[in-house]
Structure 1
């Protein structure tokens, strides 16, 4: 009998550990649903621990605020009161964990998914959601995400095809760069952005004189940068996150590399500024969408976000907010939270949001109205150089040159 008890306990402990390995559950605080109120479950997955946790937490804050706002409106679907519940999980920016969580969400019969954050997690998870018929609105920017032919995949931001195209043309036409070096971290996001950037550089008449690779765990780039310095580039482009671009920026300056570091939206963060310190100055990065102050409802969102979370908006939370509100709007318009019933409405949604006055999708699930903004670090702050598309008039790249 004692052996049976021990064995039973061991199985229980093992099961608990297995669930924990799939990702730490982090449900947003919410009031209990009143009796007779239908609970609509919205799953969320992003890195909530590890070096990319700051991305995931800010993203989750936007989703949390959207759900709180929706519930405060006392919504009804099908004539009955509903309460939206956020089920948040940590996918650790790991593809294997992401697929385990995707199956877990399917088993829990969630009504929709906001996430995942990374392209490398969103792409494998999307097959599981597609098979189950559950819509997902992901932060993923890799072109492959919406090129799989799934009817359930939608974006929260413009794709790397748009962003890479803008940046490739920018460094050649606006910075006057002729010799460009590209480094990427071999993730779906980093490599995808670098590939699109390379195409645009060549189309604009620039030359990619060297392409190097690292990984999303590296912090020492001495060997790569020494090799890069030997070819005297006008620009060094990095496809990857701030955990790598920040030490790369510091090491470039210490090695005497005068070429500016150019990167994408995972570098355009407050964290990059903190990690890179004074060596951040001169770094240029693109970000999908308009600057916060130019977003249709950006100022209102900024004040409410700061009041709720006691921190400034960083990068991703407005897009998480709009994605969540667009999904909820689709459910309300369809008069149903059943995925099969609101999915066609989501595909044709025209939603007025924080980031866009016309949040809508093309037939692949890419956002139609997406701008790209180019920023530069000056005196430790991100300053707007130029905005392309998204309803904003392009601003001149004030004083930008490859020598800076």
Structure 2
């Protein structure tokens, strides 16, 4: 038996079909592939929190591009800090979710994605301070944090003057930490110091660092160079203190002092440490405004640098879409990213990113923090990143 549909119902059905299609097209997605489980999960979740906070604000104000309104959505996939999984995830984000931009917060995953993102016309938002990310010439990449090499000399000056010239290297063993170590060692030695021990450890796979820390402490260092994700970095520092280490910690910028303190019950074990100044301790007006706004949403915690910088990156990407007049053309969006960063409102730019250098790295002033008397103090590094 054939059912004949009346014209009015047929028209309604067609309208509903086109309405559903139109609604689907009004969502623009930014992808995320990072560690949401394993030893670096806290790090990945902080990155994602900043992205989602920005997306919520963009949607609350309304995102209009080319005369059409869109909803911004963050699509997140867990890669467990494994670059091969990152590549698979990003391919899925591009093919299944049609993301014009993806954010990856670790250098191994970023390098894996750089093998194909240009051909896919996909903007790669690279959350790593590794300078090689932009030096490779990938025209579809933006490096979100400033180049980490600007920290090395002032960090060395503080720790060497306070504790001595013998350093033990006990950082993580992933690509980013290896790059930090390779840049740090000659600088330490050029300043008159000596590397007395070197034992990189798998921060993202282990929770007990007793044997690795014991090994480097046998050579009686004055300073320990440590760093990876904040949570395992904190456990390394605590293990060193438990084993009697009295010296200082030079903490590479991936680990954040305030996040480490939460893991080990306070700043006491981190006395004498030097690292990136936490966002909550940043005295600049933009940072104070962001911290105040963040606490309205999360009153029981402080925002981290990862939260702030990736929040800014998503806001800048939304502005770049408006400037480009498209939510699908990654090439045109990338072309507008420098201008987008430069036109960010103060409340959306807590770390005061000034724009991009010619290679696609952010230009910003960074602050250094030291732990003294159980408090994190701003020692005003304020070194402008010249886009190395």
Partner of 1:315: 305
Alignment check: 8 A CA contact 1:268 1:285 kept = no
Within the alignment, does 1:331 sit opposite 2:324 as a pair? no
* Structure 2 unpaired stretches of 5+: 1-19
Partner Cα distance (1:305, 1:289) in 2 = 14
Cα offsets for 1:376-402 (capped at 9, x unmatched): 2643x5x0242212679xxxxxxxxxx
Paired residues for 1:273-312 under 5 Å: 273-277=261-265, 280-287=269-276, 292-312=281-301
Partner Cα distance (1:221, 1:39) in 2 = 45
Please provide the CA RMSD for this pair: 2.8
Aligned residues: 357
Cα offsets for 1:89-133 (capped at 9, x unmatched): 2222111111101111121321212x2112222221232322212
Alignment check: 8 A CA contact 1:296 1:356 kept = no
Aligned with residue 73 of structure 2, among 61, 85, 108: 85
Partner Cα distance (1:54, 1:37) in 2 = 33
Paired residues for 1:91-240 under 5 Å: 91-107=79-95, 108-113=97-102, 115-172=103-160, 174-175=161-162, 177-216=164-203, 217-240=205-228
Q: 1:74 to 1:206 in 2, by over 3 A?
A: same
Q: 1:252 to 1:356 in 2, by over 3 A?
A: closer
Partner Cα distance (1:378, 1:315) in 2 = 23
Q: 1:191 to 1:40 in 2, by over 3 A?
A: same
Partner Cα distance (1:274, 1:88) in 2 = 25
Cα offsets for 1:242-264 (capped at 9, x unmatched): 34322322222232222222212
Q: Secondary structure at the match of 2:380?
A: strand
Partner Cα distance (2:332, 2:35) in 1 = 30
Cα offsets for 1:234-293 (capped at 9, x unmatched): 211113233432232222223222222221234325442233336624151422786554
Partner of 2:3: none
Paired residues for 1:361-372 under 5 Å: 361-372=356-367
Q: TM-score, normalised by structure 1?
A: 0.79
Q: 1:372 to 1:299 in 2, by over 3 A?
A: closer
Alignment check: 8 A CA contact 1:77 1:335 kept = yes
